[in-house]
Amino acid sequence: MPELPEVETVRRGLAAVMEGRPIVNVLVRRGDLRRPLPEGFAAALTGRTVIAIDRRAKYLLFRLDDGTVVIAHLGMSGSMVIEQAVDSQAPDAFPDPNMAGGKHEHIVFSVGNGTQIRFSDPRRFGLMDLATEETLADHPLLASIGPEPLEESFDGAALAARLTGKRTPIKSALLDQRIVAGLGNIYVCEALFAAALSPRRSAHTVQGGRADRLLRSIKSVLLAAIEAGGSTLRDHVAPSGEIGYFQHNFQVYGREDEPCPSCAQPIHRLVQAGRSTFFCSRCQR
């Protein structure tokens, strides 16, 4: 499933071609994704201008000029690919939205200047919903999500406070979106290695210097991954169609039995809450 860096990569790509432009047409080929699209979804968007595209955790937020907000989640296999005007001399000449884009292409957004955004989702675990600026914070998908890890105000002390009293392993705690937003399996494994903390360590013991070290590692890993366009292991592509490259920088994730880059001891894998965890038992305590 796309994690924060992949969603941020998608956000940046879409913002470059959608912000400040009207939505000319919305073609819905299939309305039953992880949940049904809201009634009147296409009509609510058509004719509206995209003011901004933001991200909250792993969700994309399309803010429109009438106060409507589209909440989108890519699920496990979703992608949004940009298709430019068919004629550079006639920028309003849109590609035919009905043109076959594969059986998994469910929604096509045509925006001003002849650009289309084609949403595909083979597994249909993605979703789109509607909210307003007034109701957004209380929306069931967003209401319980914790702070953004890249916010300047989120420091080691704030992380330590959210881990106080948590007796679950630190790996599991960091995957809990109520504690920190947007973190997933890949980047938690990488951040714990960078911070030299065992994924089995009880979360409540990550205080003081440990919390400071962990948060620095989280921020560093996420920023590096965003710079690399995220990680493409299976489905992730940027809206431009390019893949991410951070998978070439993995220190531990997916490297079971390979030598630790710090001490050369074989990297271990264990299963926590149904997810594979990769770590070095010598370097991480």
Active site residues: 2-3, 58, 275
The secondary structure element, H or E, covering residue 279 is strand 275-279
Long-range pairs for 245-248: beta carbons < 8 A, 24 or more residues apart: 246/5
Question: At 65, which amino acid appears?
Answer: D
Would you give the DSSP letter of residue 242? P
Would you give the DSSP letter of residue 34? S
The secondary structure element, H or E, covering residue 45 is helix 41-45
Phi, psi of 26 (to 5 degrees): -130, 115
- For residue 50, what are the β-bridge partners? 64
Report, in this order, helix, strand and coil percent for the chain, each rounded to 5.
Answer: 25, 25, 50
CA 22 to chain centre: 25
Half-sphere exposure of 203 (CA within 13 A, CB side): 20
Compute the distance between CA of residue 243 and CA of residue 229 in angstroms, rounded to an integer: 7
Would you give the DSSP letter of residue 5? H
Q: Evaluate whether 52 touches 63 at the Cβ level (below 8 Å).
A: yes
Three-state DSSP at 185 gives helix
Q: Evaluate whether 215 touches 160 at the Cβ level (below 8 Å).
A: no
